[in-house]
Amino acid sequence: MNSKHPSRHLLRLFRWFCHPDYVEDIEGDLWERFERRPSQMRFAFEVFKLMRPSLMRNFGGTRKLNYYGMFKHNLLITLRGFLRYKNSFLINLIGLSTGLACTLLIYLWVNDELQVDKFHTKDDQLYSVMGNQHTPEGINTWNGTPAPLALALENEFPEIERAVASTDPAWNMTFSLSANDKKLKSVGKYVSQGYFELFSYDLVKGNIAEALSDKSAIVISDKLAQKLFKDNQNIIGEPIQWESASDKRISKVTGVFKAPPASSTDQFDFLLPFDIYLSEQQNWYAPISITHVLLSKEANLAVINAKIKDFMTTKVEESEVTLFLERYSNAYLYGNYENGVQVGGRIQYVKLFSIIACFILLIACINFMNLSTARGSRRVKELGVKKASGATRGNLITQYLSESVLMSFIALLFALMMVYLALPAFNQLTDKTISLSFDQQILFTSIAITFLVGLVSGSYPAFYLSGFSPAGILKGTLKSSAGEAWIRKGLVVFQFSISILLIVSVFVVYKQVEFVQDKHLGYNKDNLILFENNGKISENFDTFMNELKNIPGVVNASGMTNGMFGAPGGELSWNGTSSSNFSRFIVHYDFIETLGLSIEEGQAFSNVPCSFVPA
């Protein structure tokens, strides 16, 4: 494409990169060449040929700035400003440090939630077998499986490298243990051989392959070993007598493992062979175990789920249960199912509190913005003098952002002290064991959040104040525009709206907790004491009950086979209809009277013989 004049865009490009001393002469030569051969393409070629280091301008400028001196000057001005305006400094410090402290506490809690059950080295291969039972009312999902399922899956599916059976962590029972004249109560569970191959509970003593191979074996934690034995070095083979509600045996220690960390949902002190737990008539009908599998690295989850879906029908023809695998470490956060579909779980609380942390941080930032902008009128003279002296808008923006970032890091120090002091009460409230350890992740996250807060908090004041005209500042004719006023008012309205929302949410939660605490649960919970009966109590239960009732102050007493929650399921049939969605309790006489339960029809259990008189 040709024209009478060279392209103005190319001329502008040439004038931008060419050294000012050469522009006039070289541009004249370019015009002469274009007049001889008026081609835009050739002119562009000539311009690009001139982009040589010897002809290009110095883009760094001719001034050599003392950056250390500028930094020292800005730091000194910032510290003087903090000391001069103490009230504004303290208000900003309290607001930012409180916001950062709340955010860090929530971050520590969220991080702890996300790490639950993630410590197992084979986490990406470790799965739990789940079952969907199809009923007329819908689909019920649970993790209970028949005892023979683990061995069958391991033998019949090559994608499954190992499968183990265990009792449900919710059923972990308290046992009475005795060794070396020491007696104590500890929590134990039954597991099948291969348990340590799936789960990373490191065995510090003993052999993994043989630890649970014998019915007389018991594997204890290092913490339990310290309580039972004085000498922790030679405890392999030592006898431990243990007793549960239904069994009493003597086992020999075959291994010692590191106690489960706080990030484990399954907490126990010792392990017993699963064969002890099984009855002689184990079958495919009773879901008395939990099955975990270790998939091969090449296994496809969708493919294996399709294979095992109808596996139960090959063992029980009329079975209404379909199987699927769920990642073991996902159960804590994604453990809720509705009609066979995973619908969330504790992950909803994690997301909710993460959003709340963002809102709290945003409120602190807006508070800082508003106070800094309002304080800007005190600094207009300083601003005008600097601009008149040659300071660019970029220099001023850098200064104001540096001030806000420095303020944020000072607030971080106070926030860390607040977190350290609040952690014991916070752990008690959340039932956690969180500690403020300055590992790489927490340190990096804290610095990143603080730096981001500094930039966000100082962004609006920096761009707002640096945009003032120096002439208007020095003449005293500055006027705020309507847009700027609306921005400040909008920030205040947004800040108070979020604050009111959080306050109302806290009030609603408080009322819900108050409702739960005061709601009548159907039984009289006041002055009610629950304790486990084992040892000689279980052997002479009736005698113990009679003696207990004779104690002054004891109004009534009774017993039951399990706790109030987590009762085993049972099937109930009536009028030709049956259902298994029932919790089953086996109770002693006077149970209804002791708990103050109300009876709609009929009468409570009685141990008084009844006489029936024929009509």
Q: Which residues face 196 on adjacent strands?
A: none
Q: Are strands 203-206 and 577-583 parallel, antiparallel or unpaired?
A: unpaired
Model pLDDT, residue 613 = 43
**pLDDT (0 to 100) of residue 38:** 83
258 touches 269 (CB < 8 A)? no
**274 and 196 in one domain?**
yes
Chain mean position to CA 169: 21
- For 350, half-sphere exposure in the C-beta direction (CA atoms, 13 angstrom radius) is 16
Q: Is residue 168 part of a domain?
A: yes
Burial string for 536-546 (b: 16+ CB within 10 Å, else e) reads: eebeeeeebbe
pLDDT of residue 614: 45
- The predicted structure's pLDDT at residue 604: 80
In this structure, is residue 321 part of a structural domain?
Answer: yes
- Would residue 494 count as lying in a domain? no
* pLDDT value at residue 615: 40
Q: For residue 250, how many other CB atoms are within 10 A of its CB?
A: 12
CA 344 to each of CA 105, 322, 337, 562, 601: distance values in angstroms, whole numbers, following the listed order: 23, 21, 7, 29, 40
3-class DSSP state for residue 121? Answer: coil
Q: Tell me whether residue 426 is in a domain.
A: yes
The terminus-to-terminus CA distance of the chain in angstroms comes to 121
Count: domains in the chain: 4
| Beta-bridge partner residues of 290 | 144, 166
Measure Cα distances from 588 to 160, 560, 567 in Å.
Answer: 45, 6, 16
| Residue found under tokens 């994608």 | 159
CA distances from 266 to 228, 261, 269 (A): 22, 9, 10
Query: Do 355 and 433 have their domain in common?
Result: yes
Do 133 and 257 have their domain in common?
A: yes
Residue with tokens 């399922």: 149
75 and 143: one domain?
no
| Residues 148 and 207 occupy one common structural domain | yes
Are both 136 and 204 inside the same structural domain?
Answer: yes
- With beta carbons less than 8 A apart as the criterion, state whether 295 and 301 touch: yes
| Nearest CA among 41, 44, 61, 50 for reference residue 18 | 50
The Cα 10–Cα 47 span in angstroms is 7
CA distance 558 to 474: 89
pLDDT at 62: 45
192 lies in the same domain as 282:
yes
Q: Which residues pair with 326 in a beta bridge?
A: 128
- Judge whether 27 and 11 are in contact, CB under 8 Å: yes
String of DSSP letters for 389-432: TT--HHHHHHHHHHHHHHHHHHHHHHHHHHHHHHHHHHHHHHT-
Cα separation, 324 vs 331, whole angstroms: 13
Measured over the CA atoms of residue 105, residue 107, residue 113 and residue 118, the dihedral's sign is: negative
Asked whether residue 470 is domain-assigned, the answer is no
Instruction: Note whether 253 and 402 are same-domain residues.
Output: no
Cβ atoms within 10 A of the Cβ of 128, count? 18
What is the CB neighbour count within 10 angstroms for residue 89? 17
Domain final position from 465, 484, 514: 465
Partnered with residue 322 across adjacent β-strands are 132
Kindly state whether residue 341 falls inside one of the protein's structural domains.
no
Residue 311 sits in the same domain as residue 364: no
Both 191 and 216 in a single domain? yes
- Residue 239 β-bridge partners: 252
601 and 452 assigned to the same domain? no
Q: Taking the CB of residue 51, how many other CB atoms lie within 10 A of it? A: 12
Q: How confident is the model at residue 381, as a pLDDT?
A: 65
Beta bridge partners of 289: 145
Q: What does DSSP assign to residue 580?
A: E
Q: What secondary structure, in 3-state letters, does 514-527 show?
A: HHHHHCCCCCCCCC
Strands 270-273 and 182-191: parallel
Distance of alpha carbon 452 from its chain centroid, rounded? 22
Tell me whether residue 489 is in a domain: no
What value, to the nearest 5°, has the Cα angle with vertex 443 and ends 442 and 449?
85
The predicted pLDDT at position 481 comes to 56
What distances in angstroms separate CA 466 from CA 82, 214, 458, 510, one per listed residue? 19, 79, 12, 46
- Give pLDDT, residue 79: 75
Residue 340 lies in a domain: no
Residue 346 Rama label (left phi>0; alpha psi -120 to 50; beta): alpha
* pLDDT number for residue 456: 81
* Residue 269 and residue 285 in one domain: yes
**Alpha-helical regions (H) of 18-137:** 23-36, 40-49, 67-84, 86-114
List, for the chain, all residue ranges whose pLDDT scores fall below the cut of 70. 1-3, 58-71, 73-74, 172, 232, 245-246, 279-281, 373-391, 460-461, 464-485, 487-488, 534-536, 538-539, 562-584, 608-615
**How far is 185 from 177, CA to CA, in rounded Å?**
6
Which range marks the domain in which residue 246 is found? 123-331
